[in-house]
Amino acid sequence: MIRVTNIERFATHDGPGIRTTIFFKGCHMHCPWCANPETWSQKVELLHDEKKCVHCQMCRTVCPASAIAFPEGKWQIDRSRCKGCQACAQECLNDAITFSGTDYTEDELVDIAMKDWDFYEESGGGVTLSGGEVFMQPEGLKTLLKKLKAQSLHVALETTGSYAPAMLREVVDDVDLFLMDLKHLDAGKLNAITGGNGELVVANFRYLAKNHPEKIVIRMPVIPGFNDESETIEAVLDFAASNRIQEVDLLPFHPLGASKWKNLGRPYAYEKEKMMEKQKLEPYIETGAKKGVKVRVGG
């Protein structure tokens, strides 16, 4: 059984061709710019969209845990009380309340993926497993990979790299492409900001680069004030070149996940930041070429 937050069919930015992207729930890292904060916790979580809410209070009426209240007419939830029964969402006529986290068997996920086989074959696409962090559900991941490969599907795996290298070695033969996040080479800064383990990230990169460099694409989200300095970006390009990694995707910052933070009741640190223009990163295409690394802006 695997808990997911979303299944995106006809995706075109998570590996080659047309793909089905499956987003696993749960993540080791808690990046403050994250576009999918609903993937952090492995628990089923409630999201409330204030723009859709008409304050009819039916959700409060049906909640068996008395988790929802309307002090002074304003919607409010005590998340420590919420049991995830979803009675409130079923009662809400405006879909102001939704829940993130649905459990699927590995066979159900394979069946969903196989619906678009013809598109994969035509475009050179396949299935991408993303998150969150897929290694937060290791047993389900290993089983699903075996079943996907049994169908001769191209499988890409998007990962933070922040886990024990032994876990990576268990699945490497069943993965065609690793989309490896590399947010910063300064382990101390990475750990402090994201809660991840920078030492493990580098160790996993080096293992893959030594044994399967052709399977790696580095994906670097470029975040204002964190890693957008030229020295930091060029250090990642140098790291790629020295480890025989041929492609780096620079992903310009965007605030498109801001509404999810609000709907989860969390403050968003990048609320005032504007979307980064691709043109800011395009000079690194030439910089990368000089180092023998293909750079794509936007992934």
Give the pLDDT confidence of 166-188 residue by residue, as tens digits.
999 999 999 999 999 999 999 99
Q: What is the pLDDT of residue 121?
A: 96
Sorting pLDDT into bands at 50, 70 and 90, what band is 233?
very high
Residues of the chain with pLDDT > 90, as a percent, come to: 96
Same domain assignment for residues 165 and 180: yes
- Over residues 207-215, mean pLDDT: 93
**Residue 54 is encoded by which pair of tokens?**
């008409």
Residues 7 and 29 in one domain: yes
The last residue of one of the domains, among 85, 100, 115, is 100
- pLDDT bracket for residue 273 (50, 70, 90): very high
CA distances from 199 to 11, 168, 191, 206, 212 (A): 31, 15, 9, 11, 20
Q: What's the pLDDT band for 261 if we cut at 50, 70, 90?
A: very high
Say yes or no: 251 and 199 in one domain: yes
Same structural domain, 60 and 185: no
User: CATH number of the domain that 59 lies in?
Assistant: 3.30.70.20
109 & 233 share domain = yes
Are 148 and 11 spatial neighbours (Cβ–Cβ below 8 Å)? no
Q: Both 225 and 198 in a single domain?
A: yes
User: Residue 33 has what pLDDT?
Assistant: 97
Q: Same domain, yes or no, for 110 and 80?
A: no
Give the domain extent around 92. 45-100
CB neighbours of residue 94 within 10 Å: 11
pLDDT at 164 exceeding the cut of 90: no
Q: What is the pLDDT of residues 33-90, one digit of tens each?
A: 999 999 999 999 999 999 999 999 999 999 999 999 999 999 999 999 999 999 999 9
How far apart (Å, rounded) are the C-alpha atoms in residues 87 and 59? 8
Residue 94 shares a structural domain with residue 113: no
125 and 262, same domain (yes or no): yes
Query: 11 Cβ partners below 8 Å, 6+ apart?
Result: 18, 19, 20, 21, 128
Average pLDDT over residues 215-237: 97
Mean pLDDT of 233-262: 96
Q: What is the mean pLDDT of the chain?
A: 96
Q: Which CATH number is 143's domain given?
A: 3.20.20.70
Report the b/e string of 259-274 with b at 16+ CB within 10 A.
ebbbbbeeebebeebe
Counting the structural domains of the chain, the total is: 2
- Examine the domain organization and report whether 246 and 157 are in the same domain: yes
CB 180 within 8 A of CB 205: yes
The predicted-structure confidence for 111-134, as pLDDT tens digits, reads as follows 999 999 999 999 999 999 999 999
CA dihedral for 236, 157, 42, 45, sign (positive or negative): positive
pTM for the structure as a whole? 0.94
User: How far separated are the first and last CA of the chain, in Å rounded?
Assistant: 30
**Residues 54 and 152 grouped into a single domain:** no
Q: Is 87 exposed, middle or buried (0-12, 13-18, 19+ CB in 10 A)?
A: middle
Same domain, residue pair 67 and 152: no
Boundary of a domain, candidates 32, 65, 100: 100
Q: How many CB atoms lie within 10 A of CB 256?
A: 9
